Amino acid sequence: MAKKELAVIDKFEIVSPVDGMDEELREEFMDEMEDFDDDTGIDCRKIKIPHGGIAFEVEGDDPDDAEPMKTVEGVIVFTHRMNSYWAGAFAGESEEAGNRMPDCSSYDGQQGVHYETGEIRNCDTCPFNQFGADGSGKACKNMRRFYIMMSGRPMPYLLSIPPTSLKNVNFQMKRIMGSTNLPYAGMVVAFKLEKAANKNGVAYSKVNVSLAGKLTPDQMKKTVAMRNELKKKYKEVAITASDYNTVQERPPVVDEGAFMEVPDAADLPFN
């Protein structure tokens, strides 16, 4: 059977904030932007996953007035694993807790750094990153971040995949890339939510991803350039409790002596 030809989405608009400006205005705009303090990290808007809902909450011009969206379609311009651990009961039900830094976090899923002390931990052997003997979940939350460009929108969007959907999304992305022989920066994908429940009957929103089409070679040049730029900056983006929006059970008590001291000049994931 002949392989089905993948649709080219040539109308996908990859834009920047200065598109449409004449040269003089663009130069003035860029010059004035340099008058402000240099922010670290990636300037992006967030896509949140509701508890048990089927529509994403996409941040707009007003952060308090999210746009419901059943399908988020766009180009993944960068993705990376991350691990986050919050000590004690997870208090993610308030705005204050939602902005809380984790006690330990890792931007590559390999080395975690304690927020207050700078101590380092190997994620593979860390006791917080192990399943419980009774089959319960990990105290440390394994997630994946996707930075997505949507057509006609000049800013990237950040979608954090929670532990409940991580295995599913990883499998689907590998299958899509393997069947098309395309890098993810060269394709348009669609993220959707479906209602699901864990073994205890607790409802949650499961993330699925499917292929929508591929970009033209000229479009892909732009997205690859974006990927290279984001890859340089991603370690500077803070992880907060808002990345993980599923209620967490109180983690087990683990000996804090599992952390080890590292020299100030060590190459930590945040650097």
Q: What is the residue type of 84?
A: S
pLDDT greater at residue 269 or residue 212: 212
Rounded CA separation 199/197 (Å) = 7
DSSP-based three-state secondary structure for 28: helix
pLDDT greater at residue 92 or residue 242: 242
- 225 Cβ contact partners less than 8 Å away, ≥ 6 residues apart: none
Q: What is the per-residue pLDDT across 202-220, written as a single tens digit (0 to 9) for each?
A: 889 999 999 999 999 999 9
Residues 123-139 as b or e (16 or more Cβ within 10 Å = b): beebebbeeeeeeebbb
pLDDT of residue 261 exceeding 90: no
Q: For 94-103, 123-132, 152-161, which range has the lowest pLDDT when averaged over its residues?
A: 94-103
What percent of the chain has a predicted confidence (pLDDT) above 90?
A: 38
Rounded CA separation 112/263 (Å) = 15
pLDDT of residue 263 exceeding 60: no
pLDDT greater at residue 134 or residue 84: 84
pLDDT of the residue at 56? 96
Contact present, 187 and 211 (Cβ < 8 Å): yes
pLDDT of the residue at 131? 86
- In the structure, what pLDDT confidence band is assigned to residue 150 with cuts at 50, 70 and 90? very high
pLDDT of the residue at 116? 82
Closest by Cα among 24, 82, 46, 48 to 205? 48
pLDDT greater at residue 135 or residue 131: 131
Rounded CA separation 184/181 (Å) = 9
pLDDT of residue 47 exceeding 60: yes
Q: What is the per-residue pLDDT across 171-211, written as a single tens digit (0 to 9) for each?
A: 999 999 999 999 999 999 999 999 998 888 888 999 999 99
Q: Once rounded to an integer, what is the mean pLDDT over residues 236-242?
A: 59
